[in-house]
Amino acid sequence: MSSTETETDIILIGAGIMSATLGTLLKELAPDWKIRVFENLAKAGEESSNEWNNAGTGHAALCELNYTSEKEDGSIDINKAVKINEQFHVSMQFWSYLVNSKLIHNPQDFIRRFPHMSMVRGEENVAFLKKRFETMSNNPLFKEMEFSDDPEKLMEWIPLIMKDRSLDEAIAATKVDSGTDVNFGALTRMLFDNLEATNVDVQYKRSVENMKRASDGSWELKVKNNDNGSVEHHSAKFVFIGGGGGSLHLLQKSGIPESKHIGGFPVSGIFMACNNPEVIEQHHGKVYGKAKKGAPPMSVPHLDTRYINNKKSLLFGPFAGFSPNFLKTGSMFDLITSVKPNNVLTMLAAGAKEMPLTKYLIQQVMLSKEQRMEELREFMPSAKSEDWDLVVAGQRVQVIKDTDAGGKGTLQFGTEVITAEDGSLAALLGASPGASTAVHVMLDVLHRCFPEYMEEWEPKIKEMIPSYGESLMENPELLDDIHTSTSETLGLSQKEPVFS
């Protein structure tokens, strides 16, 4: 049954945006290294990175209220927003480098400029938004932010949200014109096309089923050919587990001590997509609201202009829900088979702690289309049921682990890179802020797994990411230079996007 046996330098598991980014970085830094990719599906970018499976927001903390919090003394903590904004600038610089190097030909195929707005209702929320605006707009990273609680101005900014709205309730918004809509599916496919063109061996319909460490420290992977069921064995000195929701199972199979006491909590997503071109034309931007009490941060409602398949679209959501699958194309046994003797206590502790969240997610799954329309109407009072269809989005697997701050079985909402002590294996778990910060996260993988090469690679990294190693917030001149040059290169300088 088993025939093929190969050896290579690097194996990337999964053809999503994370493997695409790591593969591209490695090709630039170590062009001679042999890279092989195994992807379970027939194409790249078909799971969470696909354009219909995520919200396509270039997360730069320009509109997401959950990246800032109010401290006990009433001041606003913007540390997380600053970090995410700096990380998005890293992605923008790397993508610009790829355009300048002719590795990406038409950036408009994956990135478009759209205003990013936050919108709140009610006196208390408006007061919070104003205070937040005053803090953020004083920071060089957010200096373009505008605020308005004037209904006439808001009618200009968000006509669809203001239409048929009673003005009895206070309402306010902030706006940053230089926000982006990113088609991460298109970007993933472009990066994989480039990798294949530079002799990276990308094998589709190949499922990695197991892995073990060989006596020389390399990794041996058992890979199933999904077409004929045959099994192949491939080995590599370094393995990146970029399996999205599939990463936890693979990490557990590696058996490394770092894989223990970690669990996964799957959260599904549903969007509503507008099918009425007249309505779609009336909205322009990504407008993020406030999450409902008890709702997880990934269910912050937003009404987004998207640009998918050369067509302007309008999506609302995501509605979070519960499904035991870890991948959209996964199995209903994913959750149960991820429970192992080493993480059962962590999982049980999380189960007890997160009962209200689980209940909330199950209730969300049960919502009828009309109940979802009611939520949309809070955002857009004139929404008509016949104009909107349900679209199932991707799965996110949130990490559960034991932490000093949260105790046993604490649910994490961020991204976690887990590495073997000797740097021979890395896995990416979690999904937020996700694809937008892929370049920063993959640079972190390089630091942790290839420390001996970082000095040699530094000049090339600086060529690709001029702000590498510097804080843009503390260097406003560099920030302005980079903002101007990346906007020009990526075709984002014009205020109104060009629709071809």
Instruction: Determine, following the binding rule CB under 6 A, whether residue 41 of this chain makes contact with ligand FAD.
Output: yes
Burial class from Cβ neighbours inside 10 Å (0-12, 13-18, 19+) for residue 327 reads buried
What does the per-residue mask of binding to ligand FAD show for 95-134, with x meaning CB under 6 A?
----------------------------------------
Instruction: Determine, following the binding rule CB under 6 A, whether residue 427 of this chain makes contact with ligand FAD.
Output: no
Q: Which is nearer to ligand FAD, 38 or 114 (CB)?
A: 38
Q: How many residues sit close enough to ligand FAD to count as binding (CB under 6 A)? A: 41
Name the segment binding ligand FAD (CB under 6 A); options: 36-44, 109-117, 141-149, 378-386: 36-44
Q: How far is CA 349 from CA 365, 403, 408, 459, in A?
A: 24, 12, 6, 46
Instruction: Determine, following the binding rule CB under 6 A, whether residue 68 of this chain makes contact with ligand FAD.
Output: no
Among 11, 16, 86, 285, binds ligand FAD (CB under 6 A): 16
Instruction: Determine, following the binding rule CB under 6 A, whether residue 207 of this chain makes contact with ligand FAD.
Output: yes
SS3 sequence, the chain?
CEEEEEEEEEEEECCCHHHHHHHHHHHHHCCCCCEEEECCCCCCCCCCCCCCCCCCECCCCCCCHHHCEECCCCCEECHHHHHHHHHHHHHHHHHHHHHHCCCCCCHHHCEEECCEEEEEECHHHHHHHHHHHHHHHCCHHHCCCEEECCHHHHHHHCHHHHCCCCCCCCEEEEEECCCEEECHHHHHHHHHHHHHHCCCEEECCEEEEEEEECCCCCEEEEEEECCCCCEEEEEEEEEEECCHHHHHHHHHHHCCHHHCCEEEEEEEEEEEEECCHHHHHCCCCEEECCCCCCCCHHHCCEEEEEEECCEEEEEEEEEEECCCCCCCCCCCCHHHHCCCCCCHHHHHHHHHHCHHHHHHHHHHHHCCHHHHHHHHHHHCCCCCHHHEEEEECCCEEEEEEEECCCEEEEECCCCEEEECCCCCEEEEECCCCHHHHHHHHHHHHHHHHCHHHHHHHHHHHHHHCCCCCCCCCCCHHHHHHHHHHHHHHCCCCCCCCCCC
* Distance from C-alpha of 93 to C-alpha of 278, rounded to nearest angstrom: 36
Instruction: Determine, following the binding rule CB under 6 A, whether residue 334 of this chain makes contact with ligand FAD.
Output: no
Among 11, 18, 62, 417, binds ligand FAD (CB under 6 A): 18
* Distance from C-alpha of 423 to C-alpha of 240, rounded to nearest angstrom: 10
Q: Which is nearer to ligand FAD, 75 or 337 (CB)?
A: 337
**Residues 384-403, interacting with ligand FAD (CB under 6 A):** 393-396
Q: How far is the CB of 304 from ligand FAD (least distance, A)?
A: 8
Instruction: Determine, following the binding rule CB under 6 A, whether residue 66 of this chain makes contact with ligand FAD.
Output: no
Q: Which is nearer to ligand FAD, 41 or 472 (CB)?
A: 41
Q: How far is the CB of 175 from ligand FAD (least distance, A)?
A: 18
Rg (alpha carbons) of the chain, rounded to whole number = 23
Q: Which is nearer to ligand FAD, 52 or 388 (CB)?
A: 52
Instruction: Determine, following the binding rule CB under 6 A, whether residue 319 of this chain makes contact with ligand FAD.
Output: no
* Distance from C-alpha of 60 to C-alpha of 95, rounded to nearest angstrom: 15
Q: Which is nearer to ligand FAD, 157 or 192 (CB)?
A: 192
Q: How far is the CB of 176 from ligand FAD (least distance, A)?
A: 16
Q: Which is nearer to ligand FAD, 251 or 420 (CB)?
A: 251
Q: How far is the CB of 57 from ligand FAD (least distance, A)?
A: 3
Name the segment binding ligand FAD (CB under 6 A); options: 10-18, 27-35, 145-153, 383-391: 10-18
Among 24, 40, 108, 313, binds ligand FAD (CB under 6 A): 40
Q: Which is nearer to ligand FAD, 41 or 482 (CB)?
A: 41
Instruction: Determine, following the binding rule CB under 6 A, whether residue 289 of this chain makes contact with ligand FAD.
Output: no
User: How distant is the alpha carbon of residue 404 from its chain centre?
Assistant: 26
What does the per-residue mask of binding to ligand FAD show for 434-463, with x meaning CB under 6 A?
xxx---------------------------
Instruction: Determine, following the binding rule CB under 6 A, whether residue 486 of this chain makes contact with ligand FAD.
Output: no
Instruction: Determine, following the binding rule CB under 6 A, whether residue 235 of this chain makes contact with ligand FAD.
Output: no
Among 318, 321, 409, 497, binds ligand FAD (CB under 6 A): 318
Among 11, 12, 35, 55, binds ligand FAD (CB under 6 A): 55
Q: How far is the CB of 385 from ligand FAD (least distance, A)?
A: 22
Q: How far is the CB of 392 from ligand FAD (least distance, A)?
A: 9
- Give me the residue whose beta carbon is nearest to ligand FAD: 16
Which residues lie near ligand FAD (CB under 6 A)?
Answer: 13-19, 38-41, 46-49, 53-57, 59, 184, 207-208, 242-244, 246, 250, 269, 318, 393-396, 428, 431, 433-436
